[in-house]
Amino acid sequence: MNLYRQEGPVYLTLAATLRAELSIYQAGDFLPGELPLARRFAVNRHTVRRALDVLVQEGCVLRIKGKGTQVLNRPIPYPVQANSAHSDALSAMGYSAKARLLKVYQRSPSADEIKHLELREGEDVLEYKTLRFIEEQPVSLISHHFSTRYDFLLKDYAKGSMRSYLKERGCELSRKFSLIGARMPTVDEASRLLMSQQQPVLTIQTLSQDQHDRPMELSFSVSRADHFQYQVFINGVNEHDSSSK
């Protein structure tokens, strides 16, 4: 491949080529050394090093002194759609997903919960805290908040997808809105997710409604940023896919 015939800086073209080839590697594998890559693409080692710098900054690879450039875990693209369920979406992509119930408690609502869940005066909130796993690795902490009026529906929940559990009981949730953000984890979050407190986490707040358009669940999730990418669909269509047709 003659990279000099491509548009733009050569090192960026090389970075794009190497990025596309990462799918053939497993996490933990090492890329060929700088010299073999320079020979293969007919460029100098400085160009290879700059291209690898781009992938390091993107979090795709890690340089290990004395060993080389190691391929890192690739984030899972989690689809954010109106009817997407966390566990179902991951299972459809071939991942083993499960959820463990950590704690359930009843408390007074916050101002946001009163507003979004349209709580009545004096009505409490039920909070279900869950820990999500992919391939047996903890990746997300999720808190599900409901009005106590739904206690009769929720009393038997013990594990697994909350949406699937409610669907089996005749209540189908759909996403009304989601707010996506990022921050550093708390000590408890880092401990439960088996990660460094110096690594960022992705956060998402979601209001879901039932099939009668009544607000029912306000959820908050904290996920490992090195495991997830939130893939947002426009009007139910993957914008990337539609633009490539």
pLDDT tens digits for range 194-215: 877 888 999 999 999 999 999 9
Q: What is the pLDDT of residue 137?
A: 79
Q: What is the pLDDT of residue 105?
A: 95
Alpha-carbon distance of 40 to 172, in angstroms, equals 54
- Answer yes or no: do 208 and 225 share one domain: yes
- Answer yes or no: do 56 and 127 share one domain: no
**Domain end marker among 51, 71, 91:** 71
Contacts of residues 208-213 at CB distance under 8 Å and 24 or more positions apart, as own/partner, are 208/163, 208/173, 208/174, 208/175, 208/176, 209/173, 209/174, 209/176, 210/171, 210/172, 210/173, 211/171, 211/172, 211/174
Q: What is the pLDDT of residue 154?
A: 97
Can you read off the two tokens belonging to residue 183? 């921050």
Q: What is the pLDDT of residue 72?
A: 73
240 has a pLDDT exceeding 60 = no
Q: What is the pLDDT of residue 101?
A: 97
Alpha-carbon distance of 97 to 64, in angstroms, equals 31
What's the mean pLDDT when you consider all of the chain?
Answer: 85
Q: Residue 28 — left, alpha, or beta (φ > 0 → left; ψ -120 to 50 → alpha)?
A: left
- Answer yes or no: do 90 and 61 share one domain: no
- Answer yes or no: do 65 and 177 share one domain: no
Mean local confidence (pLDDT), 87-92 = 66
pTM score over 0.85: no
Alpha-carbon distance of 206 to 80, in angstroms, equals 10
- Answer yes or no: do 92 and 170 share one domain: yes
Domain range enclosing 95: 76-243
DSSP SS3 for 11: helix
- Answer yes or no: do 46 and 115 share one domain: no
91 — pLDDT class (breaks 50, 70, 90) = low
86 — pLDDT class (breaks 50, 70, 90) = low
Amino acid at 160: G
Q: What is the pLDDT of residue 5?
A: 59
- In CATH, what number is assigned to the domain containing residue 62? 1.10.10.10
When divided into structural domains, the chain yields a total of: 2
Mean local confidence (pLDDT), 162-182 = 94
